[in-house]
Amino acid sequence: MINSTVAEISAALQAGDISSVEITQAYLNRIAKLNGELNAFITVCEESALEQAAAADAARSAGNTSPLLGIPIAHKDIFCTKDILTTCGSRMLHNFISPYNATVVERFNEAGTVLLGKTNMDEFAMGSSNETSFFGDVKNPWNTECVPGGSSGGSAAAVAADLCAMATGTDTGGSIRQPAAFCGITGFKPSYGRVSRWGMIAFASSLDQAGPITKSAEDAAIILNAMAGLDEKDSTSIDRPAEEFTASLNQPLKGLRIGVPKQHFAQGLSTEIEKAVRDALAEYKKLGATIKEVDLTNSHLSVSAYYVVAPAEASANLSRFDGVRYGYRCEDPVDLEDMYKRTRSEGFGEEVKRRIMIGTYALSAGYYDAYYRKAQKIRRLIKDDFDRAFAEVDVIIGPTSPHTAFKLGSKSDPVSMYLEDIYTIAVNLAGLPAASIPVGMANGMPMGMQIIGAYFDEAKILNVAHQFQQHTDWHKQKPGPIASSDEEA
């Protein structure tokens, strides 16, 4: 049962074929077996998870039919969880116990989910490989010599390896979609403002968005039902009527207009991924869709603009970590200035310090107009490109990443690492929703396809993704080295 989807586990719980305690214990056993190898979890909440599972079974016996009741979940360690360690993958917060829950966590608690633990991540969500965590590298379940992608690599690896039924992630420039592509699962980034950011430790406030990491588009829709909605504690949360994201999953695709950005099929894209995506487009044509090339003229500027905007916002957000109120503090400081300097120097990793310095420079007097203001203007041009495209098409489809997962330690140059998100960053700059779903295999590693929608078109993306998964089985492939067996269920 641990290799089942959320929809399948929910049906089994409802039918009484399995209890929440049984499925929770099965996942805990598998975490104990494999986490030492994968390093997907920073914290495992075994005792409280079994208590929550028992409470869920009692609630179901009393008549509660919530679809997520009793289903185990893992949260990326960027979400504050009351009375549980929340580290953000950093030495700076290695001892931080949050006094409150993030809104996303609270909504899952209200839905009756069972928290298995907190997943590993790139430090403060800064990275594309999950190699910047203070708690060590996360390994890809398909090949433990490869990265799982970042920054939500712990969540992606956990779902792919059947360590949990579902997980949360955050996406600032591709940090849900790229790990989903590398690990052969489904990752969904909602529109900016669709899901509350309150209690989610900020990296870049105008870009960060929480979303689900799952085994299927159907599961993503079920989970988004619980995650989405107005939060008055979050000033960036959008007030929109509640949607049932599963309602239109089975809508036929006849007449669907798919845009294919020519910029995403240029030099640098592996031939295997290009073929896989074009084969997927052919499948969509069989389902009644039409294909049209679209021009995202300014997409080549997205990486440059992002690495001004995101570090600038990070330099402001991370200024709160000073050793005074919580988190890491250096030993025996000489004075206040010495404490500030040494705490931040010792508490932050190299990539975080690099981005703080870039952001501070871009915001400094004399450089603000030359860098930050210009980057924001480019951001607007990128959004305008998408607006023009969506006047002609319903969704945009292309590769999620230019290649499959790369070897651990193979990218020591920061710029080459920044280019990992070349197809995903523009979506965050424009605030749009997008998903990555499995589209094939190359040399034993999964490949991902990105589906982008117009603002608040989550339901349409999920419909397009689900219909593809109804006619293909790429999302059902399992990593051979650690494939789960029936005996573990």
Evaluated on CA atoms 133, 137, 141, 147, the torsion sign reads positive
Note the pLDDT of residue 241: 87
Q: Using omega within 30 degrees of 0 as the cis cutoff, is the peptide bond preceding 151 cis?
A: yes
10-residue stretch averages of pLDDT, the chain, 489 residues long: 96 97 98 98 98 98 96 98 98 97 98 98 97 98 97 98 97 98 98 98 97 98 97 95 94 98 93 98 98 96 96 96 94 95 97 96 90 96 98 98 97 90 97 98 97 98 98 94 59
Question: Can 315 be counted among the known catalytic residues?
Answer: no
Rounded-to-integer distance, Cα 27 and Cα 55, Å: 17
Enclosing H/E stretch for 12: helix 6-15
Residue in 4, 19, 20, 76 annotated catalytic = 76
Into which CATH architecture does domain 6-258+476-484 fall? Alpha-Beta Complex (3.90)
In the chain, CATH 3.90.1300.10 sits at: 6-258+476-484
CA 7/CA 64 separation, integer angstroms: 16
Active site residue 175: yes
Identify whether 416 is a catalytic site residue.
no
Active-site annotation holder among 151, 299, 401, 484: 151
Total H helices, total E strands in the chain: 15, 11
Beta-carbon contacts of 215 under 8 Å, excluding residues fewer than 6 positions away, are 5, 6, 159, 165, 166, 185, 186, 475
- Selecting among 128, 129, 175, 196, the annotated active-site residue is 175
pLDDT attached to residue 188:
98
Q: Which two tokens stand for residue 21?
A: 């305690």
